[in-house]
Amino acid sequence: MGADALVLPEAPGRDAGAGLSAIASDPDRVSVLLGTYLFQDLSAAEVEPLARTAEVQRFGRGAHIFDVGDRADRLYVVMSGEARDSLVTEDGDEFMYAMWGPGMVVGEPGFFSPEKTRVLAFIAVDPTTVLV
């Protein structure tokens, strides 16, 4: 996770939107996973053990969810909000690669690479909730 990350962990009994009106309550984790290309062909029963262990993480606008060079030991599914992935050149210019929204899986290139390191930064454009 990036050094500038503002992580708002899931708290039992806490209203997911408390203090963050842009973030709606958490959808069912199984449904979130089944809505992605990685898990769409599986049954709810097959996905349930993964959904049970997955973490919900919340990030404020501008937070670095992960940065170039970070260890790529997990995948992210955007549950709400919007984030971008980008790379900063040697000259200091930011090259934005893509925008990511709800239902999209992020982090595969680094996760599946032999080096297991992030090749792009992932930054929240709006308050963003991810399933990790």
Residue 43 CA to residue 71 CA, distance in Å, equals 30
Q: What is the pLDDT of residue 24?
A: 40
Judge whether residue 115 has pLDDT over 60: yes
Q: Where are the beta strands (DSSP E) in the chain?
A: 56-59, 64-66, 76-80, 83-88, 94-100, 105-106, 121-124, 128-131
Calpha distance 87→38 (Å, rounded): 25
Each residue's pLDDT tens digit, 49-91? 999 999 999 999 999 999 999 999 999 999 999 999 999 888 9
